[in-house]
Structure 1
Amino acid sequence: MFQEPDYRENLSLMLSEVLHDIGVNERTVMGRRRHFMLLETIWNIKNRLADTNLTYYSLGSNSEGTTTIGLQSDIDVLGYFSNFNIIQDWSEWEHGKDNFLMIQDENTTPGYCFLQRLRNDEPLPLTVIPDEHFILDRRGRILHQNTIIYNFLQGAQQRHGPAIASQGEPGVSDSDRVYALHCKSWPQSASGWLDRQGIGRWPTQEMRRYAASTGFFVVPTGSKVSEYPELEWRISTSLTERCLMINLNITQIRCYVLFKMILKSFLNPQDEINISSFMCKTVLLHCIENTESGIWKDNNLYTCLTYCLLELHSCVQNDCCSHFIIPENNLMAGQFTAETKHELSKNICDFIQNDRQRLLSIDIDDVGHRLQVKLNRVPHAINYFPSLIIYETVMTELYMNIATSISCQHMLF
């Protein structure tokens, strides 16, 4: 499928140039990553000085460098509480901590778990319900409800699933904050991923070793198809996913950014978020794993994008988008109705069949107009800002984020 006509190669090169011009290039991508890693450091210095047990991670598109000015991505933050210890084996129990045994059985949805409360003075199950945030199940286990974290947080009125949406201060982007609990070991349900080898020998062994050393999080939200949504906690391998994304090459990053623009512009009907950017990321990772690495080059960008769209269409048709690391977890389970499925399938097919017309209709960052200028070879038809100005604009916004964050943290002391 990769022996494409010349026009596809030319279109790929023009798309790559357009994406380079709007900031999807090595310099801007690395600038975004450095700044959000610095921001993460600032948050955690403040937490250590304040002697809190909270650690933050900057995740998502900004920390990966997989966004643009026009996509207007929020800052995604995950915070975990170090005084909680999630264990999969009794040998991981720690004295003095709030220990919870992770349970996955016939009652839990794949990719989710229950948390059983244990004693903190010896490795035994707790037998007395401590407060209203716990329940006693039919097997006599005291289980942790997933609503507890948000009951202790202030200003949590606006929630997007497990995330708290916060409007940023002047000069600071809006953020989505997720609070979670951490397990130091790798999830047993994902043990097969550490040995899985794709066609392109990606992810590398080094990435897998990093994954095994970071453990995972449990996020307080249940599956849409669960019988016990208030008791389930979602298994999150977000640090591993961040590692995978920052090891993509620039063509893979451009493909993902374009994928998200298409999603936002054409695929989700009636402005509903039926297909998430995380699903697009998952599809991309599967496609990278199942192709030779030499395919992912700028002169093949459009073919790679088409491959991703075809894979997404297959997922929608089969009502199944398998999590990249925990394949038993179907990200599309209970996600949309038969009518929505039909509309999504139609939209994807329509885009693929009318690819050039649809690409020229992308308004985000004026991608469509920019592409038209390049295809028509009229370089001065529209006086767009050069990529250097885009880079300086992005960096200015990020410096303002950092300066405002430092000021805000300083005021807390």
Structure 2
Amino acid sequence: MQMVILYIDIRVAFPLTNKILKPKEEVILFGKNIITNYVDIYILVFCKFTRMFHTPDYYHNISKRLSEVLDDIGVNENIVVKRRRAFLLEETICTITHRADGRQMTVYNLGSQSEGTTTGGLQSDADTLFCLDNISVIQDWSEWSPGKSNLLMIQNETTPPGYCLLQLLTRDAPLPVTHETDNIFVKDTHGRILFKNTVIDAIMQEGCQRQGPSAASAAKPYVLASDIVIAYPYKSWPQSSRAWLDQQETNIWPTAEMKRYAKTTNCFVVGVGSRASENADFEWRLSTSLVERCLMFNLNITQIKCYTLMKMILKTYINVENLDNGTCISSYMCKTVLFHCIASKPASVWKECNILNCLSFCIFTLNNCILNEHCPHFIVHENNLMAGKFSAEVKQQLLERMLNLIPFDGIFPFGIQIDNLGERLQIKLNMMNEVHYDIQQSEEYTMSITSGLLKLITPSDLAIRMIKDENIETLLQKVIYLTRHYIDGDMLEKTACRLLVPPLFTSIGSLIASKNIQNNNTVSPQAFTWIEAGMDSDVASGRLKLASIMYRVGNAEITVLILSRIEEQYNIEVTEPVCRCYDFNTPYFKRGFGRLSSQYGAEALKYTVALCVRFLPPEINCVPHELQYELFRSTREDLLHRSIYDNWMDWAVVDSLPYLYFLQYKTYGKLQRPEEQQQALNKLIWAIETERNLAHKETELNLLGQCMEQENRPVDALKCYMLSLRHRKRNNAAKIHICRCLAKQTHKDLPT
């Protein structure tokens, strides 16, 4: 039996532990290591880990090829920057829109999607935090603000680290409220009126489920799952968090500059209690999400790749089965482990040629956290992220799974099927000659990601929210608000305003034109001025509104000219129909659109995107008779089957390309140009059959059906209406058309 003596310096090997081994402690292992308890696992793991300090030559080669694979699937500096710019712009658009509507809130896009630490195969959630700025969380009575909802933060020996209680104060004086309200503001044993975090359940939207502090909606085909968190800001950092800011450390990460930025950054409380607490319904967790986003935005590409790989490992090897009815190790724990590892290792270590060693250190540190059931929050160190997270049985299972990874001989990446990473790596290493047919090339991956990002910042649905007031005076006030914001704002705010303003201009002009047509069947110069100012929002929708107005006032020649101009600009191979009315998305993207989206940012929208054409009820006089039916699509029974997201069903909405051909068909008919009219009809049929990204196909089929009726083809018309109902069974004007068409045919067949 052979005796092995190891001299272990705990300060080097275990940056997070505080037990089991001491510096320079002598550990004796006899023969083969038989695992009998956690201490044995701990020692065995370290024995395997020490071998990694002698890096095999092939490690550098695998690291480089692995880094290239991650480049190919979108984890590269170019895509990371594009992701961050797109999500920062989108959150700015959302914030400006809400504030223009009078809602005092700030929107933040957080998590992997906005950080650039994800891939298509990981299918990371879209995490959004809504900060309600009209509520102030204070830590001292001197911070009380008149006229606002003030909540006093309480932290004492009864609240777990990283959590607090919130006491409700009066609006007109810095005094505590004394009466309870709706089981949300409830009196505790000390007589204080405390704010319960169960308020999140009370305001949960349809289709969402409570997960920690968030309202989570499940993923749908081609639509990512989302987590929405309601948060309240607090004015100054709590003492437990401030210790991190003031800490003088010898390492160089986080840098002094990053900490200076952190001091100016908002922190929040979010509605979730500690799992280990008996008072969880009254507790609110302190959130330093924006500081963590700052840290993530300051990672180098190797650290970003390392974190992405950790999540792939988690999904492939650790959380492959639900343990104890839930996922035990979260990606947030992996992020926290990464922060600790970066803080404990010199920057020179984090290179792409060393990615396997970096990853092995992170995995080993995570294993150490599981072993000790201790993963300290990076900023609030007293907050243990693993407290109460798993049972002893689950812990044993996790350690056994981790143990399979610890040797880190470079083989584990070959087993990762997410984004075909294992196969891609084998191809890079010339271990495979044949390329599997479903492996996307790097260019395809880039185009797919960037086209989705360009669609993300299309503000059509947000702009329309500002128009729903149906009051021109109110809309003019919003234009003034956006103008001031553009003048005083930063670059993101200026870009957001440039995207929001044109659809607003077009709608104001259309509302004025509708009143003009109702009064005297003409359109005032004022209406034209507004419409023309907003026509460049995209390739087609603004100009189609103008064409629709000209058609309604009977100016067919001008209508034809406008439509011809739109058709010239609408490049079928490049222009992408984009709908933001509801969660409509497809896996298909046009290569021409993809190429341009990979080369340009928000400035490409006006040349590459065709938004839906939308008419609100007050714009009815600008809408052709055939499209007006869509304003009355819902029966009383249909209304019962609508959600809060279905407000667009009160409008007449149609995709740009089919509407272009429909207007051509109607206009050429008025001009008695039958040959061109038939060409337009054929184009309308072709567009409905071949354009895969039409979001309102049921409406286009209803328009086509009415064209068929005009062509005296009632059977084909009924087929169109029936197809329309297949696309949308409820809230569909096709029911009206079927009844009307059948009544017309019955009346025709009746004996005179």
TM over 0.5: yes
User: Is the alpha carbon distance of 1:23 and 1:149 closer, same or farther for their aligned partners in structure 2, counting shifts above 3 Å?
Assistant: same
Identify the structure with bigger relative contact order (alpha carbons < 8 Å, sequence gap 6+): 1
Secondary structure of 1:158's aligned partner:
strand
| Offset of residue 198 of structure 1 | 4.9
- For 1:362, the equivalent position in structure 2 comes to 416
Bigger Cα displacement from structure 2, 324-333 vs 83-92: 83-92
Alpha-carbon distance between aligned partners in 1 of 2:441 and 2:247, rounded to the nearest angstrom: 43
Secondary structure of 1:230's aligned partner:
helix
Amino acid at match of 1:411: I
Length, aligned pairs only: 411
Amino acid at match of 2:423: H
Query: Which of 214, 220, 236 lines up with 2:287 in the alignment?
Result: 236
Bigger Cα displacement from structure 2, 381-390 vs 186-195: 381-390
| Offset of residue 153 of structure 1 | 4.4
Query: Which of 66, 90, 99 lines up with 1:48 in the alignment?
Result: 99
Amino acid at match of 1:334: G
Alpha-carbon distance between aligned partners in 1 of 2:420 and 2:207, rounded to the nearest angstrom: 35
- For 2:727, the equivalent position in structure 1 comes to none
Native 8 Å contact 1:198 1:289 kept in 2: no
Query: Which of 151, 155, 158 lines up with 1:100 in the alignment?
Result: 151
Native 8 Å contact 1:172 1:401 kept in 2: no
Amino acid at match of 1:193: W
- For 1:398, the equivalent position in structure 2 comes to 453
| Offset of residue 200 of structure 1 | 3.8
Unaligned runs of 5+ in 1: none
After superposition, where does 1:6-405 map in structure 2 within 5 Å?
A: 6-155=57-206, 157-166=208-217, 173-198=224-249, 200-271=251-322, 272-353=326-407, 355-376=409-430, 381-382=435-436, 384-403=439-458
| Offset of residue 96 of structure 1 | 0.9
Secondary structure of 1:240's aligned partner:
helix
| Offset of residue 157 of structure 1 | 4.3
Amino acid at match of 1:108: T
Amino acid at match of 1:316: I
Secondary structure of 1:245's aligned partner:
helix
Native 8 Å contact 1:85 1:98 kept in 2: yes
- For 1:408, the equivalent position in structure 2 comes to 461
Q: Which has the larger radius of gyration?
A: 2
| Offset of residue 106 of structure 1 | 1.6
Q: Which has the higher helix share?
A: 2
Amino acid at match of 2:346: E
Secondary structure of 1:113's aligned partner:
strand
Alpha-carbon distance between aligned partners in 2 of 1:379 and 1:292, rounded to the nearest angstrom: 39
Bigger Cα displacement from structure 2, 124-133 vs 141-150: 124-133
| Offset of residue 130 of structure 1 | 4.1
- The sequence identity of aligned pairs, in percent, is 50
Secondary structure of 1:235's aligned partner:
strand
Bigger Cα displacement from structure 2, 383-392 vs 83-92: 383-392
| Offset of residue 379 of structure 1 | 7.0
| Offset of residue 38 of structure 1 | 1.1
Amino acid at match of 1:399: L
Native 8 Å contact 1:37 1:63 kept in 2: yes
Alpha-carbon distance between aligned partners in 2 of 1:113 and 1:181, rounded to the nearest angstrom: 13
| Offset of residue 46 of structure 1 | 1.3
Bigger Cα displacement from structure 2, 347-356 vs 289-298: 347-356
- For 2:659, the equivalent position in structure 1 comes to none
Secondary structure of 2:103's aligned partner:
coil
Amino acid at match of 1:319: E
User: Is the alpha carbon distance of 1:295 and 1:122 closer, same or farther for their aligned partners in structure 2, counting shifts above 3 Å?
Assistant: same
Native 8 Å contact 1:29 1:64 kept in 2: yes
| Cα RMSD for the two superposed structures | 2.0
Question: TM-score, normalization: structure 1?
Answer: 0.94
Alpha-carbon distance between aligned partners in 2 of 1:68 and 1:198, rounded to the nearest angstrom: 34
Unaligned runs of 5+ in 2: 1-51, 469-752
